[in-house]
Amino acid sequence: MPKMMPIVRKRIYSYLLAAGLTAGAALSGAILIAPQEGLVLGTYKDAVGIVTSCYGHTGPELVLGQTFTQAQCDEQLAKDVAKHNKEMMRYVKVPLNLYQEAALTSFSYNVGIGNFSSSSLLKELNKGNYKAACTKLLDWVYAKKQKLKGLVTRRAQEMKVCMGEVDIQAELNK
């Protein structure tokens, strides 16, 4: 799992829970999204040239040269995770456990709800083929036709969480 100081993970998790996120979404933000995205208190171009800030936030309001506080980034993370979790759950027609919800929230956060909603991963999931759906996470490692090492790592972690092979609640204390 991505390394982040336990106190930071717990702080992010507590903040996300206080913002009204489900436990699965909050764990996704604290354990999968924030460590993978990293925190940048300003804007930058991501690996495919999209202007990004904080914990991987994108949007038309961003321009290069902006700066943000830790509090602004935490608030944006909560809003983004809540949005992606809610939109993702609109397309999911089968029950998810805490681990599946966390992994798929992280995945939809990273690839976008449009890609999630049209994916073969979602088709397998909605057929009740949980293992096949979790395994399909490993297909999503390309950006602009380039295989990215960071995506390979992220998808492997998401798959392990999705399959229940990682105790994400215990990750808060590592």
Question: Catalytic amino acids?
Answer: 37, 46
Indicate the SS3 state at residue 142: strand
- Give me the phi and psi of 40, to 5 degrees please: -125, 120
Residue 72: count other Cβ atoms within 10 Å of its Cβ.
14
- Which residues, listed in sequence order, are joined to residue 146 by a DSSP beta bridge? 143
Neighbours of 136 (CB within 10 A): 21
> Is the distance from CB of 151 to CB of 143 less than 8 angstroms?
yes
Residues whose CB is less than 8 angstroms from the CB of residue 48 and which lie 6 or more positions away in sequence, other chains included: 143, 144
Query: CB neighbours of 129 closer than 8 A, spacing ≥ 6?
Result: none
Cβ contacts of 114 within 8 Å, gap of 6 or more: none
